Amino acid sequence: DAGVIQSPRHEVTEMGQEVTLRCKPISGHNSLFWYRQTMMRGLELLIYFNNNVPIDDSGMPEDRFSAKMPNASFSTLKIQPSEPRDSAVYFCASSPRTSGRVQTQYFGPGTRLLVL
Amino acid sequence: DQQVKQNSPSLSVQEGRISILNCDYTNSMFDYFLWYKKYPAEGPTFLISISSIKDKNEDGRFTVFLNKSAKHLSLHIVPSQPGDSAVYFCAASVNFGNEKLTFGTGTRLTIIP
C-alpha cells in the first residue's frame, strides 16, 4: 500500500509565482482533504472533497488559493500569486468515507513550501 | 479563533514515566475527539480516539480521558518510551454528518532517556 502521495516534497519559489501542489489519495478512499500547518495555527483544514466534489472550502484563505479534483486519484492545490505568508507545510489526507461519519484520515508526507 | 487549544507547545518527560498531554475545546457541538502523532518530515498518523458517550478509551500504553463538563481531554502515555518523541495533535469533530476535523496547534513531546 503506497499511502497518500504528495509532490513535490519541497518547493522554493519567489513571491508572485504560481505554485501547484499535487496529491494522489489512497486507492478506494473517496474523501480527500487539504491542510496547511503553521506554528501559530497548527493544522488548518483548507478544503475537502467527497467523490471528487468540493464539500467545504471555508478554510481557503483567499481567492489566490484554488483546489481541484478532476478524478478519484488526483488533486491539486494551486496558489497564484504566491506570497511569503503562504510559506508552510501543506498536507493532503484521504479517508474512506462511510455514512457521513468521521473516519480516520491518512496523511501524506507533506509539501514544504517556502515563498521568498 | 482556535476552537481546539493545546496550551503547552512542548513537554519533556523521563523515559519510563507518564506523559500527559492536554487539550481544551470551546465548541460544545464537538462529540468526537482524536489524537494524531507526527514525526519530523512525515504526515500525522492516527493514534487514538474517543466518542463523547465515553469518558475513557484505552489502547495499550495510550489512554485518552474526556471531561465534557470542562471541555477538556488528555492523552496519557505510560510508560513513556524514546519512540514516543513526536508532535501530538488533538482534533475534534461533530461525529455524524460531518467529516471535518478541527486540529489544535500541537504539543512537542520529548522523552529523555
Going residue by residue through chain B (113 aa), what tens digit of pLDDT does each one get?
Answer: 789 999 999 999 999 999 999 999 999 999 999 999 999 999 999 999 999 999 999 999 999 999 999 999 999 999 999 999 999 999 999 866 568 899 999 999 999 99
pLDDT profile of chain A (116 residues), mean per 10? 92 97 95 93 92 92 94 96 96 81 86 97
Which residue from B21, B20, B28 is spatially nearest to B3, judged by alpha carbons? B28
Cβ-count burial B50-82 (b if 16+ within 10 Å, e if not): beeeeeeeeeeebbbbbeeeebebbbbbeebee
- pLDDT at position A27 is 94
> What is residue B100's predicted lDDT score, i.e. its pLDDT?
87
Enclosing H/E stretch for A20: strand A19-24
C-alpha cell at A67: 483546489
DSSP state of B42: S
In whole angstroms, give the CA distance from residue A78 to residue B95. 30
Instruction: Tell me what pLDDT residue A10 has.
Output: 97
| Residue A103: per-residue pLDDT | 76
User: Can you say whether residue B67 is alpha, beta or left, with left for phi > 0 and alpha for psi between -120 and 50 degrees?
Assistant: beta
> In this complex, is the C-beta atom of B40 within 8 Å of any C-beta atom belonging to chain A?
no
CB contact under 8 A, B44 and A95: no
Report the Cα–Cα distance between both ends of chain B, in Å, rounded: 37
d(CA A18, CA A15): 9
Distance CA A28, CA A39 (A): 32
Nearest residue on chain B to A43, judged by CA atoms? Answer: B103
Q: What pLDDT does A17 receive?
A: 97
Interface list for A 46-105 with B (CB within 8 A): 48, 50, 55-56, 91, 93, 95, 97, 100-105
Interface of B with A in 79-108 (CB under 8 A): 89, 91, 93, 95-106
Residue of A nearest to B104 (CA): A42
Tell me whether residues A109 and B42 touch, CB distance under 8 A: yes
Q: Compute φ and ψ for A27, nearest 5 degrees.
A: -60, 130
List residues bridging with B20 in a β-sheet: B76
- In angstroms, the CA A98 to CA A54 distance is 17
Give pLDDT, residue B17.
98
Q: What is the pLDDT of residue B95?
A: 66
pLDDT (0 to 100) of residue A94? 95
